[in-house]
Amino acid sequence: MQPNEIHALIQLLDDPDEGVYLHVREQLLAKGTSVLPALLESRETHAQCEEHERRMDELVDGLHGAYVHNGLRDWFDSGAESALEGALWVHKAADPLLDMDALRASYEKLKRNVWLELNEELTALEQVRILNHVLYDIEGFTNAKSGQPDPKQALLGEVMAECKGNPLGLGILYLSLAQDLNLPIHGVNLPNHFILCYCDEYHIHHESHQPDNQTPGGVLFYINPFSQGTVINKAEVSEFLSHLELPVDEKNCGPCGSVDIIRRLIGNVAYGYERSGHIRQAEKMRELLMFVETGATETPSPGPSAEGGDSAEGGTL
């Protein structure tokens, strides 16, 4: 279908006859996501017409929602291991016009810059110093300290474009680079403040028993991507949890999977939209969270990170 035909169909969305609208809607939905740019443009130019906007929203939500859900289903089917891919789909859910291929290309360039500095002889701390040097010194990434929660601070494309993010946004970028460069760095679902940990992989996979109220034995040290990649020792994390009157255990300070991180990301973005008054966007994110919960193979945890209750990512270490 040619662009002028698409625009002609879009013009018919204003027709008061519901039968005409349903016929046009069926034809546009059959074209898939290729018509999204034209629909979004038309929605902006008809912002004062409530009926047109309602019909547009229905179409956009139908097309875009199905596209994002299919992408996330593929992510789950592949094992849901890549935090990068999960985060890309969350950003796509928030921004239908996001160019995912362009974002992947930018990420690959950044990854190559880190890879060129690494070698097999480096110690764990030296590897982290290299990551920190490239991200914070050369590329200029910094933390976004603002009083008002902003969903953009967690979305991967915005973090990369602005070289700025909240703990979760910077943490997912840092983690993605580490994952793709085969560094044993994992996310940590620390309440109120997302951090990372560098692990002894053998110890992690073969440890049979973890003593009560101790950080997981396979964790060598923690990393705070919101603070220029500062290395945090186990005692500091234990103290942080004790201030919150929470147990020092695998759930609160052990390595977590990418599905847990993506759940937390969606909750964080939803919270940012709510606090900034974008209620409809927040509702979409909550619906996406429900979809991810049902798509996960593990039982969803009822804690705050799954529901977005700590989405301000405010804690300090």
Report pLDDT digits (tens) over 77-111: 999 999 999 999 999 999 988 999 999 999 999 99
Q: Could you tell me if residue 213 is inside a domain?
A: yes
Parent domain of 110: 83-307
Per-residue confidence band for 309, with pLDDT thresholds at 50, 70 and 90? very low
For residues 240-246, give the mean pLDDT. Answer: 93
Domains: count for the chain = 2
94 and 68 belong to one structural domain = no
Residue 4's pLDDT band (boundaries 50, 70, 90)? confident
In this structure, are 47 and 186 located in the same domain? no
Mean pLDDT, the chain, rounded, equals 86
Which of 77, 94, 118 is a domain's end point?
Answer: 77
Q: Encoding tokens for residue 100?
A: 């995912």
Alpha-carbon distance of 204 to 268, in angstroms, equals 28
Q: What CA–CA distance (Å, rounded) separates 61 from 54?
A: 11
Higher pLDDT, 246 or 294: 246
Mean pLDDT in residue range 255-284: 95
Statement to judge: residues 242 and 162 lie in one domain: yes
Shared domain for 236 and 138, answered yes or no, is yes
Q: pTM of the full predicted structure?
A: 0.84
pLDDT at 298 over 70: no
Q: Is residue 187 part of a domain?
A: yes
72 and 100 both lie in a single domain: no
Q: Do 184 and 235 share a domain, yes or no?
A: yes
Where does the pLDDT of residue 31 fall: very low under 50, low under 70, confident under 90, or very high at 90 and above? Answer: confident
Co-location of 111 and 244 in the same domain: yes
pLDDT of residue 122: 95
Whether residue 51 lies inside any domain: the answer is yes
**Are residues 237 and 111 part of one domain?**
yes
Task: Please tell me whether residues 37 and 129 are part of one structural domain.
Answer: no
State which of 42, 59, 77 marks the end of a domain.
Answer: 77
Is the confidence at residue 240, as pLDDT, over 60? yes
pLDDT band at 43 (very low <50, low <70, confident <90, very high): confident
Whether 304 shows a pLDDT value over 50: the answer reads no
Which domain-ending residue is among 28, 47, 77? 77
Measured between alpha carbons, how far is 184 from 131 in angstroms, rounded to an integer? 13
Share above pLDDT 90 across residues of the chain, in percent, rounded to a whole number: 61
